[in-house]
Each structure stands twice: as C-alpha cells, then as structure tokens.
Amino acid sequence: MFKAVHYTEVPSEEVKDGASGVRVRWLISCKDGAENFAMRYFEIDPGGQTPRHSHDWEHESFILSGEGIVFCEGKKQKVSPGYVIFIPPRAEHYFKNTGKKKMIFLCLIPYKK
C-alpha cells in the first residue's frame, strides 16, 4: 500500500549486536509490502560505530548528515553528506562517526528470496 510519512513518525530503536551508540528506524520494510529491499535510517552518536562484520548481503547507503569513516575491504573512506556507498556482499565493513554531531545515513538491504 502507498506509504508517505515523515521519518520522525517511524520509531527509533537501539541497535545491539556489537554496535555502540547506534539507533535505527526501519523506514520501509516487508511490513509495508516491500518484498525486495528495506530502507533503514541510521543515527550514530559521536564516537559510536556499527560492528566490524560481514554478511551475505550488500548495503546501499547515502550519507545525510555528519561525518565519519566507512571501512570496507581494508580501505577507510572519509564520508560526509552526499556520499554514496556500496558495500558488496561478504565484505568486512563498519561505519564510524568521527565528527562532533550525529552521523546520519540511509542504509538499504535486500530481502532474501
């Protein structure tokens, strides 16, 4: 069904599993009828980061606010608003806020078929 809401209307949850200072809003998911991929909105506190890990699926991300680094496949890339990131399946990666305000980004993942 058609959905059009402001992101602030979507609840924010703390991310566990090795993340520090990370919250997520599942903006669009299978609950909305999205069968192919999900859109999530992440906020990382200054100094926080997502876990260094890898998995079978890719990430497609867009940095909305703040600054930090994205580590992937042994490389560290400084990112800021407007950066686009593709993390391939099985690549070791993390996102880290190295700035003084929140680092905010969209991160989309596929649903397994």
> Is the Cβ of residue 2 or residue 16 nearer to a copy of itself in the bound state?
2
Specify the residue for token string 């305000």.
Answer: 101
Under a CB-based contact definition with an 8 Å cutoff, are residues 52 and 59 in contact? no
Q: Give the whole-angstrom CA distance, residue 18 versus residue 49.
A: 9
DSSP secondary structure, 7-33, as one string: GGGS--EE--TT-EEEEEEEEE-GGGT
Give residues 13-52 in contact with a copy of itself (rule: CB under 8 A): 27-28, 32-37, 39
Closest distance of CB 38 from a copy of itself, Å: 8
11 is a site residue for a copy of itself (CB under 8 A): no
Residues interacting with a copy of itself, by CB under 8 A? 1-8, 10, 27-28, 32-37, 39, 58, 60, 62, 64, 70, 72-73, 75, 77, 79, 82-88, 91, 106, 108, 110, 113
